[in-house]
Amino acid sequence: MADIVTLKAICDELKLDPRDARERLSAAASDAKSNPELAKARKPRTPWQWVKGAAAEKEARRALQPKKPA
């Protein structure tokens, strides 16, 4: 069975607030042009989780990275 990475695990790793992370992921998933794998992987009313190493997980991590000030 494939390893599963949950949003909680990513939030613990990056020290993020889960509520803020869910909002950011929802916004990123709604932009299918920028994040096609994340948009395909998103299923409403299900937990945010991905197969470890999948393209959708990489897009999710990229969406959750802190924004660097200009």
Q: How many CA atoms lie within 13 A of 29 on its CB side?
A: 18
Q: What is the average per-residue pLDDT within 28-52? A: 94
Given a cut of 80, is residue 68 above it in pLDDT?
A: no
Domain ranges of the chain: 13-64
Band of pLDDT at residue 1, cut at 50, 70 and 90: low
Instruction: Give alpha helix (H) positions in 1-70.
Output: 7-14, 18-30, 36-41, 55-64
The percent of residues above 70 in pLDDT, for the chain, comes to: 94
Question: What average pLDDT does the structure give for the chain?
Answer: 92
Task: Report pTM.
Answer: 0.86
Give the pLDDT band (50/70/90) at residue 66.
Answer: confident
Which residues, in sequence order, are CB contacts of 28 under 8 Å at separation 6+? 34, 35, 38, 59, 60, 63
Answer for the pair 64, 10: CB distance below 8 angstroms, yes or no: yes
